[in-house]
Amino acid sequence: MSKVTLAVLVNNEPGVLSRVAGLFTRRGYNIHSLAVGPTEDNSISRITIVVEEDEQRLEQVTKQLHKLIDVLKITDLTYEERVERELALIKVKGDKRSEILQIVDIFRAKIVDVSPKEVMVEVTGDMEKVDAFIQMLDSYGITEIVRTGKIALARSAKN
């Protein structure tokens, strides 16, 4: 099994996400993460999908996606030079606030909300960094997590 990151450009129309998600369900492919949003062109949305599958099935994923009429372009970013980011919001129990602050500092995360019992932290980075951050906070008592799923963009040519 290997993980690939696909950038899928689709028509920004009702039901398109449903088509993409439905295809994954129907063919039994595993979605690891999925993020959708508009692009520089209002009529086009970009779906970033991280798929975890063996080699032969990965090829099938791309081919089946290509058959959807609302899919305009698929780029496999796995082997490209790229920038990847994910954002997570995490609520942690605030008993040991100063220790939490130190970890937040190390990860260049941010406290975005404070209440008498909890703090809310925002962190961005690649998936591994977000995973590591969550692991570090785990022992302080995480009460809620939300993650956006990975987005990625290929780097421009340097010459």
Partner 1 sequence: MALTGAEALVSTLTEMGVEYVFGYPGGAVLPIYDALYNSSLKHILTRHEQGAAHAADGYARATRKPGVVIATSGPGATNLVTGLANAYMDSVPLVAITGQVHSGLIGKDSFQEADIMGITMPVTKHNYLVKDGNSIPRVIKEALFIANTGRPGPVLVDITKDALMNHLLEPLLDAEIDLPGYRVKTTGHPRQIMLAKNLIQEAKRPLIYAGGGAGDAGESLLQLVEQYDIPVTTTLMGLGAFPGNHPLNLGMLGMHGTPWANMAIQECDVLIAIGARFDDRVTGNLSKFAPKAKIIHIDIDAAEIGKNVKADIPIVGDAKSILPELLGTEKLTHPNWIAEIREFALPKYQANKPNSDPCEVCNVPNLFNATPPPPCKRQESVTPKQVLEVVAATIKDKIIVATDVGQNQMWAAQYLPVDKPHSFITSGGLGTMGYGLPAALGAQLGRPDEQVVLVTGDGSLQMNIQELATIATYDIPVKIVLLNNRVLGMVRQWQTIFYESRYSQTCTGSVPDFCLLASAYSLPAVKILTREDCQTKLPEALLTKGPYLIEVAIDPDESVWPMVAPGASLCEMLHAELTPKPAWER
Closer Cβ to partner 1, 22 or 38, answer by number: 22
Binding-site member from 67, 115, 155, 157 for partner 1 (CB under 8 A): 67
State the DSSP code for 157: P
State the DSSP code for 112: E
For residue 159, state whether it binds partner 1 (rule: CB under 8 A): no
For residue 40, state whether it binds partner 1 (rule: CB under 8 A): no
What's the CA angle centered on 134, arms 121 and 85, to 5 degrees?
A: 75
For residue 26, state whether it binds partner 1 (rule: CB under 8 A): yes
Residues 6 or more apart whose Cβ sits within 8 Å of residue 132: 107
Query: Which residues make beta-bridge pairs with 9?
Result: 46, 73
Q: How far is the CB of 39 from partner 1 (least distance, A)?
A: 14
Binding-site member from 1, 69, 112, 145 for partner 1 (CB under 8 A): 69
Closer Cβ to partner 1, 38 or 141, answer by number: 38
What's the CA angle centered on 145, arms 79 and 27, to 5 degrees?
A: 50
> How remote is the C-alpha of 89 from its chain's centroid?
13
Binding-site member from 63, 96, 110, 117 for partner 1 (CB under 8 A): 63
Binding-site member from 72, 87, 134, 153 for partner 1 (CB under 8 A): 72
Closer Cβ to partner 1, 11 or 78, answer by number: 11
Q: Determine contact, residues 75/82, Cβ cutoff 8 Å.
A: no
Query: And the tokens for 79?
Result: 């082997």
- Which among 42, 12, 56, 51 is positioned nearest to 149, based on CA atoms? 51
Binding-site member from 68, 89, 120, 136 for partner 1 (CB under 8 A): 68
Contact residues: partner 1, CB under 8 A: 10-11, 14-15, 18-19, 22, 26, 56, 59-60, 63-64, 66-72
